[in-house]
Amino acid sequence: MKLILSTSNVLGAGSSVYRSTKNKSNAELVSTLRSNFQSHYILPTNGHTNGEAHHAPKPSYKTWTRRRTDEDALEVPSLDIEDNGLQEEREQYDITLKLFYLPGASIKHREQHTREAVDLVLKELRIPSVDLLIVSFPGIYFDEQEDCPDKLSTRGPVEAEPEPIDTQIATWKVLEHLHKNGTVKKLGIAEFGKDRLEMLLEKTAVRPSVDQINLRDCCSVPKDLMSLAKSQGVELLVHNDCSNILPRGTVRELLGSGPEGAGVLAEPSKAGDKRKGLHDEEGKNGDSDVSLRGEVQPQWVVKYTAVVKNRGVVENKGYFAGAVLEG
């Protein structure tokens, strides 16, 4: 079963979703997902709760999610595309997507993941195209490109080994098709140092317009990368996004049956428990506690922003995430 998680517009007027411009993307993603889930099953404040939300027992996830039987997918929460969209004409916006391919996800399904992520944003904003699509590959860190050999890395343990450049080029062919059919106007990559960027430029038809780099372990952009980017018309941008933006343990916590979980997933089976698969767990009283069983594996995350050009204001921002649940 596929799981499609969404935050809705985290900047929406009157939204109960937590929003902050200071959080890194991984913290913002988790906070806004949790808040969006809770907005569907926690009652709002009233005069009898001293200004605090009333935490009633969680309803069945089936009351606020939607099952797509045609493709065995679950929307968490149900997507309400009809009420969404931009306030002004499409030409008034700069719309940027950043697509994170996550560690552990199937590379052979990357074309499907890419199209699904982009299509969700197009439907959410009710637009035919986006201005820029940046892709982030798992295991790629700017400080690993030998651009800053004297700097001590502070990013912690390596979460995934870097993919071979040929694998990334194969994925790039999918992005080129989106560019050629007009769905995406410009393409970009993240964390590519001089050597990796040079190889990509040599083997692709549609060149990246942007290279996002994280200078956490570097005090400045290396001169050889600056020279290459300038000569090839590639804009260098700085970011502070986390590469593994949504670890599998985080997804299980968000969707699990714990105090802060949404109650979509049952707790993992204990030793000796033979029950497996994608089914509802039987409660103590013989009732269904409507929690799904299985191992969850995040596949991708897409972040989108819509900026009003003449005012420089972000009107719409949000995230979608895709995962699979297997028995």
205: pLDDT strictly greater than 90:
yes
Higher local confidence (pLDDT), 271 or 313: 313
209: pLDDT strictly greater than 80:
yes
CA dihedral 54, 57, 60, 65 (to 10 degrees): 20
Q: What pLDDT, on a 0 to 100 scale, did the predictor assign at position 292?
A: 94
pLDDT band at 7, cuts 50/70/90?
very high
146: pLDDT strictly greater than 70:
no
Give me the residues paired with residue 292 across strands: 265, 280
User: What digits encode the pLDDT tens for the residues 53-107?
Assistant: 555 678 899 999 999 988 899 999 999 876 678 999 999 999 999 999 999 999 9
Residue 30: both structure tokens together: 């988790």
DSSP secondary structure letter of residue 121: H
Start-to-end C-alpha separation, the chain? 9
Q: What is the pTM of this model?
A: 0.86
pLDDT band at 110, cuts 50/70/90?
very high
Mean per-residue pLDDT, 148-165: 57
Helices and strands (H and E) in the chain: how many: 6, 12
Residue 27: both structure tokens together: 């913290």
Cα separation values, 157 from 6, 139, 190, Å: 28, 11, 19
132 closest CA partner among 51, 209, 233, 54: 209
Lowest mean pLDDT, pick from 36-45, 59-68, 155-164:
155-164
The answer to whether 264 and 291 have CB atoms below 8 angstroms apart is yes
How many angstroms separate the CA atoms of 324 and 299, rounded?
Answer: 7
242 closest CA partner among 302, 155, 304: 155
Give exposure, 237-257, as e/b (b: 16+ Cβ within 10 Å).
eebebbbbbbbbebbbbbbbb
Q: What pLDDT, on a 0 to 100 scale, did the predictor assign at position 270?
A: 57
125 closest CA partner among 318, 326, 321, 327: 318
pLDDT band at 281, cuts 50/70/90?
very low
Cα separation values, 295 from 2, 197, 256, 267, 276, Å: 12, 36, 11, 10, 10
- The proportion of the chain whose per-residue pLDDT surpasses 70, expressed as a percent, equals 77
DSSP secondary structure letter of residue 50: T
Residue count of the chain? 327
pLDDT band at 295, cuts 50/70/90?
very high
